[in-house]
């Protein structure tokens, strides 16, 4: 066993599944032939790392995750390059963020370097699942759950870590099109001192009500405002948010209530590389409305792994509509979308060692 490798047992699937139609992939509907699993308990630490056939877990009904939601997850993608290479984008940033989430949720940290090696093994084994269609990729979902069978609110003594993979289609199947966003002034996502900066399941369960309510009103996502004054902008759905005001990129700072997005950080680093002025500062919905009215606000877009960049065409707030760039995709949103995608797919050189090659 190499020093930086986990002792991973490999059990190959006897029968491989039929692969889905590459043009009808959607998101999160099909899963590959194998998964990575690993267990933790107080006595042994991390052990029993396995790459094994994708399949059900056996969980005791008292498993603590089912009652108290001690759970964290991550989301990243493997891309197929033009030369058939398989590339990961900033995977260590995802695994390091996973460990930050683990600390906040009183869960054990994973050995990130070793897990990356094992994850590469899993992706290589299931590489035929990585779509070749334009804009498609393999979504990778690492997660950890409290698996100890016990009732009572405290950190569990046993955990299960796993990684599953699913081929996903291009986010913009019908082209890069701006979304309608509902500015949520009733429900809130996170408070100071809470877990808004952690990828933990409970945050998403708590957001479903606002999301479905906004969808019934004809919107794609909600824009979250701060929980105290309902005025400061936080993020949009499960993406971070950027505005272009007086030709400057503006995004809310990481103050503990928003998720420290890797795409957000990528946009900020590329803006610095490309000489585009950018500021991380607090911004209110009142400022956004005023800037839209006087014409200084020219673009708004979301950033996240699933869509990379998601242009915003309009906001709905307290019964009013705020149009952004006449509902069309702006030049900076397009520039970041193209630039990041090219790096992710190996079509442009990767700055800052952002690409890890699987094959
Ligand atoms: C995952 C996530 C993001 C985006 O993070 P990326 O690392 O860019 O994918 C933003 N907000 C929330 C709430 C998230 O869960």
Q: Are 284 and 226 in contact (CB under 8 A)?
A: no
What does the pLDDT average to over 113-136? Answer: 95
State the distance from the centre of ligand 1 to the C-alpha of 10, rounded, in angstroms. Answer: 31
C-alpha separations of 229 from 110, 208, 233 in Å: 37, 22, 10
Q: Of 146, 168, 190, which residue is a domain's last?
A: 168
Q: Is the CB of 77 under 6 A from ligand 1?
A: no
Q: Is the CB of 97 under 6 A from ligand 1?
A: no
Cα–Cα dist 312/294, whole Å: 18
The CATH number of whichever domain residue 102 belongs to comes to 3.30.470.10
- Residue 80 counted as domain residue: yes
DSSP assignment of 237-264, as one string? TTBEEEEEETTEEEE----SSS---HHH
Give yes or no: residues 293 and 149 share one domain.
no
Q: Is the CB of 267 under 6 A from ligand 1?
A: no
139-164 pLDDT, tens digit per residue, is 999 999 999 999 999 999 999 999 99
Give yes or no: residues 225 and 155 share one domain.
no
- Residue 354 counted as domain residue: no
- Residue 173 counted as domain residue: no
Give yes or no: residues 98 and 225 share one domain.
no
Give yes or no: residues 85 and 202 share one domain.
no
303 pLDDT more than 60: yes
- Residue 264 counted as domain residue: yes
49-102 pLDDT, tens digit per residue, is 999 999 999 999 999 999 999 999 999 999 999 899 999 999 999 999 999 999
Give yes or no: residues 147 and 200 share one domain.
no
Give yes or no: residues 197 and 242 share one domain.
yes
Cα–Cα dist 239/227, whole Å: 18
* Paired sense of beta strands 71-73 and 179-184, if any: unpaired
Q: Is the CB of 147 under 6 A from ligand 1?
A: no
Cα–Cα dist 333/321, whole Å: 21
State the distance from the centre of ligand 1 to the C-alpha of 54, rounded, in angstroms. Answer: 26
Percent of the chain clearing pLDDT 90 (strictly above): 94
- Residue 154 counted as domain residue: yes
Cα–Cα dist 139/75, whole Å: 7
Q: Number of folded domains in the chain?
A: 2
Q: Is the CB of 238 under 6 A from ligand 1?
A: yes
State the distance from the centre of ligand 1 to the C-alpha of 15, rounded, in angstroms. Answer: 35
- Per-residue pLDDT at 88: 98
Could you tell me the two tokens for 232?
A: 């400061």
Give yes or no: residues 35 and 107 share one domain.
yes
- Per-residue pLDDT at 176: 81
Cα–Cα dist 340/347, whole Å: 10
Give yes or no: residues 299 and 330 share one domain.
yes
Give yes or no: residues 265 and 154 share one domain.
no
- Residue 66 counted as domain residue: yes
pTM > 0.85: yes or no = yes
- Per-residue pLDDT at 5: 67
DSSP assignment of 193-237, as one string? TSSTTS--HHHHHHHHHHHHHHHHTT-SEEEEE-TTTS-BEEEET
Taking alpha carbons only, the member of 195, 230, 232, 193 closest to residue 210 is 230
184-241 pLDDT, tens digit per residue, is 999 999 999 999 999 999 999 999 999 999 999 999 999 999 999 999 999 999 999 9
The CATH number of whichever domain residue 313 belongs to comes to 3.20.10.10
- Per-residue pLDDT at 1: 44
- Residue 77 counted as domain residue: yes
Give yes or no: residues 122 and 194 share one domain.
no
Q: 335: domain range?
A: 179-344
Give yes or no: residues 140 and 230 share one domain.
no
Q: Is the CB of 259 under 6 A from ligand 1?
A: yes
Mean pLDDT, rounded, of the chain: 95
Cα–Cα dist 93/158, whole Å: 25
Q: Of 145, 168, 191, which residue is a domain's last?
A: 168
Could you tell me the two tokens for 225?
A: 């405002």
What does the pLDDT average to over 169-178? Answer: 80
């Amino acid at each position: 066993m190499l020093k930086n490798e986990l002792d991973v047992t490999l059990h190959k699937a006897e029968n491989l599944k039929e692969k889905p139609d590459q043009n009808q992939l959607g998101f999160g509907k099909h899963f590959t032939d194998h998964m990575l699993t690993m267990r933790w308990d107080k006595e042994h630490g991390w052990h029993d790392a396995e790459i094994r056939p994708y399949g059900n877990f056996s969980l005791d009904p008292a498993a603590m995750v089912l009652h108290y939601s001690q759970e964290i997850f991550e989301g990243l993608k493997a891309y197929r390059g033009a030369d058939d290479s398989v590339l990961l984008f900033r995977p260590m940033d995802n695994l390091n963020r996973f460990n930050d989430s683990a600390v906040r949720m009183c869960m054990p940290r994973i050995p990130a370097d070793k897990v990356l090696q094992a994850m590469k093994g899993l992706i290589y084994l299931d590489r035929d699942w990585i779509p070749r269609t334009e804009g498609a990729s393999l979504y990778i979902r690492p997660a950890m759950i409290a698996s100890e069978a016990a009732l009572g609110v405290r950190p569990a003594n046993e955990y299960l870590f796993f990684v599953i993979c699913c081929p996903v289609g291009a986010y913009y199947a019908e082209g890069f099109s701006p979304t309608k966003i509902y500015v949520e002034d009733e429900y809130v996502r996170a408070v100071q001192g809470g877990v808004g900066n952690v990828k933990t399941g409970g945050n998403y369960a708590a957001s479903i009500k606002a999301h479905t309510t906004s969808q019934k009103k004809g919107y794609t996502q909600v824009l979250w405002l701060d929980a105290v004054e309902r005025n400061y902008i936080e993020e949009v759905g499960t993406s971070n948010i950027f505005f272009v005001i007086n030709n400057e990129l503006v995004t809310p700072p990481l103050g503990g209530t928003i998720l420290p997005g890797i795409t957000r950080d990528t946009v900020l680093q590329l803006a610095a590389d490309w000489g585009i002025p950018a500021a991380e500062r607090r911004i209110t919905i009142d400022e956004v409305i005023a800037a839209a009215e006087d014409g200084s606000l020219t673009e708004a877009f979301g950033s996240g792994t699933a869509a990379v960049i998601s242009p915003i065409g309009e906001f709905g707030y307290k019964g009013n509509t705020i149009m952004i760039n006449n509902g069309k995709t702006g030049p900076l949103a397009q520039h970041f979308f193209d630039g990041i995608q090219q790096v992710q797919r190996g079509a442009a050189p990767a700055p800052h060692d952002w690409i890890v090659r699987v094959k």
